[in-house]
Amino acid sequence: MNDTEPLVRWDWIGRHIPDITERLLDHVIMALVPVLLGLLIALPLGLASARWRGLYQPTVGVMNIVYSLPSLAVFIVLIPVTGLAERTTVIIPLTFYTLAVLVPAVVDGLESVPDHVRQSAVAMGFGPTRRLLRVDMPIAVPVVLAGLRVATVSSISLVSVGALIGRGGLGYYFIDGWQRQFYTPIIVGIVLVMVLAVLADGVLILAQRLLTPWARARRTS
């Protein structure tokens, strides 16, 4: 990049809209699929860990070990199994990273339910399943969604690391721009990753408000 080169080349962006759109969609898929899979696995695993406390510490211990592993190293280890060009090479590790955040969030959310609320539900004739669905889970929603917000933003960010093995969505622009000392792709990648993170976080905040209308009513009362 010379001194007369503008920081952002709008003509380059205009010519590469189809490629940017394709990589953006690829990034969204590789970021959100692990979050959805992680949530589907974390809910029953968290419920089991809250029900049988002896299961909680081993489960969280394993998740913490997985979370501490460098993502690039895990991607490289998976390549012989999943293939270099497959999204699963990125999706599998990110699913485990999501679990490391969501399992404790589910357990903490369930533990946030006051005992007197549980006792009142039992006194009203609620069975275990009905109490879980009608009392425990709704009260746990804010804590679980707080963990989900962290996991989602982390997943959107970590997808970019996959560019080092050829599967990084928008992360491709970081590598390409740096190698060519051409900053427009880097800026495009950074801006779009930030926009994705903000949009995803906003959607989850909206979901929390819709799922916990009593909290909103309490604030306005």
CATH number at residue 209: 1.10.3720.10
Tell me what pLDDT residue 137 has.
83
204 confidence band (pLDDT: 50, 70, 90): very high
53 confidence band (pLDDT: 50, 70, 90): confident
C-alpha 141 chain-centroid distance: 16
Give domain status of residue 59, yes or no. yes
104's tokens: 């404790």
d(CA 113, CA 127): 16
Tell me what pLDDT residue 59 has.
84
Highest mean predicted confidence (pLDDT) among 51-60, 131-140, 187-196:
187-196
d(CA 196, CA 130): 36
Q: What's the start-to-end Cα distance of the chain, in Å?
A: 58
Q: Average model confidence (pLDDT) for the chain?
A: 85
Question: Is the predicted pLDDT of residue 194 greater than 90, yes or no?
Answer: yes
Question: Is the predicted pLDDT of residue 23 greater than 80, yes or no?
Answer: yes
Give domain status of residue 135, yes or no. yes
pTM, rounded to two decimals: 0.85
Give domain status of residue 3, yes or no. no
**Which residue range is the domain that position 202 belongs to?**
10-220
Q: Which of 64, 65, 62, 92 has the alpha carbon at shortest distance from 76?
A: 92
